[in-house]
Amino acid sequence: MKNELQFLSEPIREAFYYVPDVAFFVKDLDGRFVTANQGFCRLMGVSSLSALVGKTDLDFVSAKLARAYMHDDRKVMDSGMPLEQQIEPMPQGNSNDARIVTSKFPLKSKEEQVLGLVGISRNLSEVSNRPHQIKMFSKVIERLEDQTSKRYDAESLAKIQGMSKSKFEREFKKLFHMSPAAYHLQTRLRWARNDLLNTTNPISQIAIDHGFFDQSHFTKRFATAYGITPLQFRKKSAIPLPFELQSDSLVEKEKHQITLHE
């Protein structure tokens, strides 16, 4: 299986050699890097492919960020479905507005068996043909990142940008390929997911901390985005849980909550 994955990966890697502004990588079923192009090596802070192959995200980024990346990998490999256009923090980024846009696709054998995944990432400022304007939105991005506990407020964000509400939302969507409301929701879910991974806070508290009405509202949004409920996600991640969250019956409760909000 490993040899087959390498065989499938090599021509893709050679193709991406000629697209240096796109970071390309392949991982096996255990999350180890099989190959990548120079753009991805730079993104991960290494100078050669040999420094990357055989290692995982945990060897290059914080545990919090690595586990978020690895959860997305598992979703792609377990479902056999792609995960496209995810806006994520830059692995080696030093500023709040450093972002990458990542898509991941399952890599399959001729028998349709998932062998690993292939991913492509680009610096968000390079995806747009107006990188200078993306920089101009940095204060808005910081506000969206800092205020994940609050509801989306288009008026205040437009005021920061010195625009009318309609113009702000229109320009934001042109630059980031999603509405500011969708970006804010993705950010809130990402930080909520980090709390599920790295704290033992009750899910009901995490929901409130990140601006959701209650646990059932959070559960529906999370399951829609990630294909799994918050409790199922936490259990899969092997995080020690508070005593009140250890009952399997809560998984059924979360499913019931999703039904109630549909």
| Cβ atoms within 10 Å of 68's Cβ, excluding its own | 22
Give the bridge partners for 25, in sequence order: 36, 119
pLDDT in tens, the chain (262 residues): 557 776 667 666 666 666 667 888 999 999 999 999 888 998 898 999 999 999 999 999 888 788 888 888 988 898 888 888 787 777 765 445 567 888 999 998 888 899 999 999 987 766 555 556 677 788 888 888 787 888 889 999 999 999 999 999 998 888 877 899 998 998 898 889 888 877 899 999 999 999 999 999 999 999 988 888 999 888 876 534 333 333 434 444 444 444 444 4
H or E, element range at 88: strand 83-89
Cross-sheet strand order for the sheet of 23-28: 33-36, 23-28, 114-123, 99-108, 83-89
* Domains of the chain, start order: 2-127 (3.30.450.20), 128-262 (1.10.10.60)
Is the CB of residue 249 less than 8 Å from the CB of residue 229? Answer: no
Instruction: Specify the amino acid at residue 8.
Output: L
